[in-house]
Amino acid sequence: MTEILTFNGDDVERYASHLQDVARAVAAGHLGTAQQLLAPIAGEVWVGKLSANTRQSAADVLAKPAARIRRISDDRLRAQVFIRDGFRCTSCGGRAIPRSILVALHDLFPAELPYDRHYGRGKVHPVFWALAPEADHILAHSRGGANDLENLTTLHASCNTQKSDAEVAPIPRYGGLESWDGLTSYYSALIVAGAGQVRPRYHRDWSRRLSPS
């Protein structure tokens, strides 16, 4: 286990590139190669703080899916926000990978990519903070912002919570001209390779929401 306290924009892109290579290898049927490709980032766990001064930490929010879902009511809408924004964070411009796809990679490689649905400190690989997007209100829901596509934007979980956090370096803005689909084109291959046996309904539902149509 390697404890990770901080990451920056270069790390976000490095993680995205690693996972893209891993997903590509899985889709090609090379699980052993995929596991080797994961080696440089295998077993990392996040032990940093992302929201030291906010009234509620992101981990708390993520640990209470019911509360989160009440605000951003439906998963289909969240998926549409990510698709519209090209699976990029609108704050830093960096690549994002939907949490369900990161979970699928965890299901295939649990030791290499630790995951805990309550985001317990030291139990989750930093990619879940660095790459997973949230659909966040542009005008806060509490100030009357609507729960619709126009008022929602894609933000990394980390970018969504780091405003008041001195421990996380600002993530630089990336141009992001190369095409990127959040690894959604590999999702069915990850499901077939074994993730679908671990969480059949979860992955079936999310792959449906994330497929372009």
CB of 89 to Zn ion, least distance (A): 3
Tell me which residues in 143-162 interact with Zn ion (CB under 5 A).
156, 159
Q: Which of residues 182-211 bind Zn ion (CB under 5 A)?
A: none
Query: Can you tell me which of 51, 91, 154, 161 binds Zn ion, judged by CB under 5 A?
Result: 91
> Considering the complex, what minimum distance in angstroms separates the CB of residue 176 from Zn ion?
11
Pick from 210, 194, 204: which is nearest to 84 by CA?
A: 210
DSSP 172: P
Q: Which is nearer to Zn ion, 92 or 183 (CB)?
A: 92
Q: How many CA atoms lie within 13 A of 213 on its CB side?
A: 7
| Least CB distance to Zn ion at residue 183 (A) | 16
Asked if 149 contacts 84 with a C-beta cutoff of 8 angstroms, the reply is: yes
CB of 62 to Zn ion, least distance (A): 16
- The least distance separating Zn ion from the CB of residue 85, rounded to whole angstroms, comes to 11
Pick the piece of the chain touching Zn ion (CB under 5 A) from 24-32, 86-94, 132-140, 198-206: 86-94
Q: Which member of 38, 61, 89, 97 binds Zn ion (CB under 5 A)?
A: 89
Q: Are 108 and 31 in contact (CB under 8 A)?
A: yes
Q: How far is the CB of 11 from Zn ion (least distance, A)?
A: 12
Beta strands 2-4 and 44-46 are parallel
Q: What is the C-alpha R_g of the chain?
A: 16
Please report whether residue 92 would count as binding Zn ion according to CB under 5 A: yes
- Of 180, 44, 203, 37, whose CA–CA distance to 113 is shortest? 44
Considering CB under 5 A, how many residues would be counted as binding Zn ion? 6
Token digits of residue 182? 């959040």
Verify binding: residue 131, Zn ion, rule CB under 5 A.
Answer: no
Q: Does 108 bind Zn ion (CB under 5 A)?
A: no
By beta carbon distance, the residue nearest Zn ion is 89
Asked if residue 212 lies in contact with residue 187, where contact means CB atoms within 8 angstroms, the answer is no
Helices (DSSP H) in 28-151: which residue ranges? 31-38, 58-63, 65-71, 75-84, 99-108, 127-130
- The residues that touch Zn ion, with contacts defined as CB under 5 A, are 89, 91-92, 94, 156, 159
